[in-house]
Structure 1
Amino acid sequence: MSSELPTPAGTKLPPLTDGPHRKRLGIVAMIATIGGLLFGYDTGVINGALRPMSEELGLTPLTAGVVTSSLLFGAAFGAIFGGKLSDARGRRSTILLLSLAFLAGTIIVVAAPNFGIMVIGRIVLGLAVGGASTVVPVYLAELAPYEIRGSLAGRNEVMIAVGAFAAFAVNALIGNLWGHMDSVWRIMLAICAIPAVGLFVGMLRMPESPRWLVEKGRHDEALAVMKTVRPEDRAIAELGDVEHVAEEEEKQHAIGLKAVFENKWLVRILLIGIGVAVFQQLTGINTIVYYGQTVLIQAGFDANAALIANVVPGLIGVVGSIVSLYLMDRVNRRTMFLTGYGLVTLCHILIGTAALALPDSTAKPYVILTLVVLFVGSMQTFLNVATWVILSEIFPLHMRGLGIGIAVFCMWIANATLGLFFPTLEAAMGLSVFYLLAAFNFVALLFMLKLLPETRGRTLESIEVGVTTGQIYIVNK
């Protein structure tokens, strides 16, 4: 790849060089992705907290499912409102508000005396989780230079995996050491308050997205921010490119959802974004995050052993995410998606087959645990990071927050639906339910093969021009 990339304005960007701006970008990413850590912990902690919580609050299987899925439905609306709010008020300001929502939700669930208050707290946490899942990837993508955008924006998914692993590890430690104590689940939930405070304090010193500032006409502020995360000549050239595209949009009055429905290519990219988001959930990754202990008990482990064994997929998820960061700026996005969905489909077929072929074997729990680990590793290495990166890239600036908000809304609805019905499906089908997941993932493979555009190695502005004119799809033909 050439060190200089032609831009929509017809100029070339100076090469990215080393300097203090690289360290500054790293600090920004580290602070912003605490939102991803909170996302991972809050969605994963229910895995170990639900059983003791159900005993203390008198939850039935139905109300336990409502407690689990209430966060997910809340996240769906948090994704929509978070995207719209970030378009209106800014990425940084929205992340600050989300940190307060994380803290408020944590306080409510920890203090919840009954089912009703618990559901309210979980909905508040869901709003924060959904908002973070929308805004943080966009914030990172808009600050990152195109050469390292994949690995920088992908750090959020690593932190989500770290958060989920932390939840599994905390659950296993607290559950095995102090599981006999009353209200032990409240301790599991309370730990979330620490990173929530860290996110709020850290974001107070972080910059606003320069691309959002340009869209709002605050060009001097945008240039000042850009100079802190780029060499000066690159900052000036890149900002000029952003301004050029913003001016073209303004001439066309291309603002918001109305502009989407007036352009068939924008409708197409919105549908592709929704497909990318929904199929990520239909991999079944969150059946392991929420019900991993239940799946492993079904495989043959006892309850405490399943709680400990559940840490292994969480650890592999972190390792896979780190490997994915290395791959994101070296391997095409389409290659990542096609490889990932192929491997996940195969893993699901093998899990279902192992459950049928080894009904009474002492090896069954360990074979299924191994296959679950392979599934999680494949998912995290090839799909999870890539999904969030491509969602942060494909939407034009004027609809970026809204576009990713709609896509992630649909993602969370799919997540919540699968989370709500998976226990019933598993009770009826056993681990043969993984054959159903395999079918979903084969359809996803065909979808990505036919429709997914390639975005690696292009600036957000060149992607935007390609998307709005339909040129980006020619690459796939």
Structure 2
Amino acid sequence: MTTKEDYLTVNKASGPNSDAPVTPFVKVVALIATLGGLLFGYDTGVISGALLFMGKELQLTPFTTGLVTSSLLFGAAFGALLAGHMATAAGRKKIIIWLAVIFAIGAAGTALAPDVSWMVFFRLVLGVAVGGAAATVPVYIAEIAPANRRGQLVTLQELMIVSGQLLAYISNATFHEIWGGDTTWRWMLALATLPAILLWFGMLFMPDTPRWYTMKGRLAEARRVLERTRAKEDVEWELMEIEETLEEQKALGKPGLKEVMTPWLMKLFFIGVGIAVIQQLTGVNTIMYYAPTMLTAVGMSDNAALFATVSNGVVSVVMTFVGIWLLGRIGRRTMTMLGQFGCTLCLLFIGAVSALMPETVNGEVDALRSYMVLAGMLMFLCFQQGALSPVTWLLLSEIFPTRLRGIFMGGAVFAMWIANFLISLFFPILLAWVGLSATFFIFAAIGVFGGIFVIKWVPETRGRSLEQIEHYLQGILDKNASRQRRVPVRRVSEARPPQ
């Protein structure tokens, strides 16, 4: 029988509050899996530069410009939903392998698209892979990683996303500088096939997660993975914890609509949806997808706008490192509030600059105005990529119960991508209709409501294992159940509070 003293020894190894280093194998697994994040970032970022050059050949209008950009996001919504459901049956590893193939097909198809219809179709295909990766990779890493390093390792996904976007911005500027011409956008899009092949090949040699193996009764394989990813003294207690949690859930039978509609689970699902959606309602992806378009609208040349957009990518990568560092030192809830309110203030700044500064000075375009807008974008990205985005993916990978994690994660990421799709589709239209300043004031107003949601609903999960988080959230969302349910002492009552 596990005693209090046995449980507390966990914290000296790789338990929730330990300082033990992560094993090299876990780092390799995380690096290969997050190639999905790199593809996610590249495929969403590359369109920002490609739009400047494909417009003439594909005869794009403001509406079809928004459609080409947002079609990927619409596909991503359904990719997240499907991957979330299929990951439980097929396994996290197998889903990621399939997604790598879809990434390669989508990238090649967009590069060869002869007209708008085919471009939209292959962007939808590519979106299925992007959404599937967004829903599956964080869960895969969260279940592979030891509790004391889960935050930093899951956040590698966000680092790879912004690195992929930076790579896209650099390749856009490089292709245009070296070759120029109206067809360079095809090479920009084709480049994404290379990391897709690497992801497919690398995942062939990776294991699935201990929790998935245990769900399928493959305990020997679960133990082998734990032995390669945990301190030696942690293997038994964590396998026991996973088994006990899954046994409790197994007694409930296969998840059904009645169970999903349980009040506390519905509350938890809508909290997850809220966390996912507010990250998009800041308007972050209008900056990531349309930065060159916005900068040329305020006076920059095409070349200057492309090179300026590279600075967006650099800041995003640097601030994601800052975000990973912060996750080890402050709580998830605190970090979410910092990112949400910081982004809202920056949106107000961009709106004010574009509204108050003159468009021309002495009959010439005011260069200072365009660089002030760029400065506002960079400040915004400091808060978005340094706080809000990293903690969003981490919270989504943590808060859902093991039994329903794939389904709930898929649903939350589906909502995220639908929000992203709608914002990206209507942003060019809104920009043409009300102008840059009014558009950003609208996003700032939405950000205030997002801040209220964060204060009221976002939970603190730092310092707990995934099983402890599950019991903790049930306790605070369903007080009747928390009083009646008997929970093993070692998992809940002896758990250390978040630090």
RMSD: 2.2
Does structure 1 retain, via aligned residues, the 8 Å contact 2:264–2:478?
A: no
1:61 paired residue number: 62
Does residue 283 of structure 2 align to residue 287 of structure 1?
Answer: no
The verdict on how the C-alpha distance between 1:256 and 1:305 changes in structure 2, with shifts beyond 3 A counting, is: farther
- Give SS of 1:457's match: coil
TM superposition shift of 1:318 = 0.5
1: CA distance between counterparts of 2:283 and 2:178?
30
Partner in structure 2 of residue 174 of structure 1: 175
Please state how far the C-alpha of 1:367 moved relative to its aligned partner.
1.3
Deviation (angstroms), 1:233: 2.0
Q: Deviations over 1:444-477 (max 9, x none)?
A: 111010011110110000011122333699999x
After TM superposition, give the deviation of residue 255 of structure 1 in Å. Answer: 2.2
* Correspondence for 1:443: 449
Q: SS state of the match for residue 12, structure 2?
A: coil
Contact (CA 8 Å) 1:15, 1:234: kept in 2 or not?
Answer: no
Q: In 2, are the aligned partners of 1:265 and 1:469 still within 8 Å (CA)? A: no
In structure 2, the CA distance between the partners of 1:376 and 1:27, relative to structure 1 (3 Å rule), is same
Q: Please report how far the alpha carbon of residue 401 of structure 1 lies from its aligned counterpart in structure 2 after TM superposition.
A: 0.7
Change (3 A) 1:330 1:12: same
Indicate how the Cα distance of structure 1 residues 303 and 20 shifts in structure 2: closer, same or farther if over 3 A, else same: closer
Structure 2 counterpart of 1:92: 93
Matches within 5 A, 1:65-464: 65-180=66-181, 182-253=182-253, 255=255, 257-261=257-261, 263-360=262-359, 361-432=366-437, 433-464=439-470
**What is the alpha-carbon distance in structure 2 between the residues aligned to residue 13 and residue 192 of structure 1?**
42
Alpha-carbon distance in 2 for matches of 1:459, 1:293 = 43
Q: Indicate the residue corresponding to 2:37 in structure 1.
A: 36
Alpha-carbon spacing, 1:449–1:254, altered in 2? closer, same or farther (3 Å): farther
Give the deviation of 1:346 after TM superposition. Answer: 0.6
Task: Give me the whole-angstrom Cα distance separating, in 2, the residues matched to 1:19 and 1:281.
Answer: 35
Higher mean displacement: 68-77 or 246-255: 246-255
Q: Which aligned runs of 4 or more in structure 1 are off by greater than 4 angstroms?
A: 4-7, 9-12, 17-21, 471-476
Instruction: Note if contact 1:214-1:243 (Cα within 8 Å) is conserved in structure 2.
Output: yes
Deviation at 1:115, TM superposition (A): 1.8
Gaps of 5+ in 2: 360-365, 483-496
Amino acid across the alignment from 2:223 = L
Which whole-Å CA distance do the structure 2 matches of 1:20 and 1:386 have between them?
Answer: 21
How far 1:51 sits from its partner (Å)?
Answer: 2.5
**Per-residue Cα deviation, 1:107-148 (whole angstroms, up to 9, x for no partner):** 211221222221221111000000000000000001111111
Alignment CA distance shift 1:170-1:257 (3 Å)? farther
Aligned residues: 470
Structure 1 residue 218, shift from structure 2 partner: 1.4
Distance 2:60 2:297 in 1: 21
TM superposition shift of 1:14: 5.3
User: How many angstroms apart in 1 are the aligned matches of 2:48 and 2:353?
Assistant: 24
- 1:246 Cα deviation from its structure 2 partner: 0.6
How far did 1:63 drift? 2.1
Contact 1:21–1:228, Cα closer than 8 Å, also in 2? no
Does the 8 A contact of 1:466 with 1:472 survive in 2? no
Structure 1 pair 307–109 and aligned structure 2 pair: CA distance change class (3 A): same
2:98 maps to amino acid? L
1:226-249, Cα deviation, whole Å (9 max, x unpaired)? 111012221111111011111111
Can you list the C-alpha shifts for 1:155-201, whole angstroms capped at 9, x where unaligned?
00000000011101111111222222x42111001110110000011
Query: 1:453, 1:472 within 8 Å by CA — same for their partners in 2?
Result: no
TM-score w.r.t. structure 1 length?
A: 0.94
Please report how far the alpha carbon of residue 61 of structure 1 lies from its aligned counterpart in structure 2 after TM superposition. Answer: 2.5
Alpha carbons of structure 1 residues 323 and 170: separation in structure 2 relative to 1, 3 Å: same
Is the contact made by 2:346 and 2:376 (CA closer than 8 Å) also made in structure 1?
yes
One-letter code aligned to 2:151: G
What residue ranges of structure 1 are gaps of 5+ in the alignment? none
**Segment of structure 1 superposing worse, 79-88 or 52-61:** 52-61
Q: d(CA) in 2 for partners of 1:367 and 1:249?
A: 54
Do the aligned partners of 1:298 and 1:430 also contact (CA within 8 Å) in 2?
no
**Conserved in 2, the CA contact under 8 Å of 1:141 and 1:149?**
yes
SS in 2 for 1:470: helix
> Whole-Å Cα distance in 1 between the matches of residues 473 and 65 of structure 2?
43
Q: Which sits farther off after the overlay, 250-259 or 416-425?
A: 250-259
* Cα distance in 2 between the residues matched to 1:21 and 1:338: 29
- For residues 256-309 of structure 1, the C-alpha deviation after alignment (integer angstroms, 9 at most, x for no partner) is 554221x21111110000001111101111001111011112232122211111
**2:297 partner letter:** Q
Per-residue deviation, 1:371: 1.1
Residue 60 of structure 1 and its aligned partner are, at CA, apart by 2.6
Q: Percent identity?
A: 44
How big is each residue's C-alpha offset from its partner over 1:413-462, in whole Å with a ceiling of 9 and x where there is no partner? 00000000011111122222111111111111110100111101100000
Q: CA deviation at 1:11?
A: 7.4
- 113-122 or 138-147, which deviates more: 113-122
Q: Secondary structure at the match of 1:310?
A: helix
CA separation in 1, counterparts of 2:55 and 2:355?
31
- What is the rounded CA distance, in whole Å, between the counterparts of 1:5 and 1:103 in structure 2? 51
Return closer, same or farther for 1:20/1:389 CA change in 2, 3 Å cut-off.
Answer: closer
Partner-residue secondary structure (3-state), 2:23: helix
Question: Are the equivalent residues in 1 in contact too, given 2:63–2:429 (CA < 8 A)?
Answer: no
Structure 1 residues 349-369: Cα deviation after superposition (integer angstroms, max 9, x where no partner):
111111122123442111111
Give the partner amino acid of 2:377. Answer: V
CA distance, structure 1, for counterparts of residue 423 and residue 257 of structure 2 = 28
1:3-46: CA deviation from partner (whole Å, max 9, x where unpaired): x9979x97763532699961001000000000000000000100
For 2:336 and 2:20, the matched residues in 1 are separated by 33
Question: 1: distance between equivalents of 2:356 and 2:61?
Answer: 33
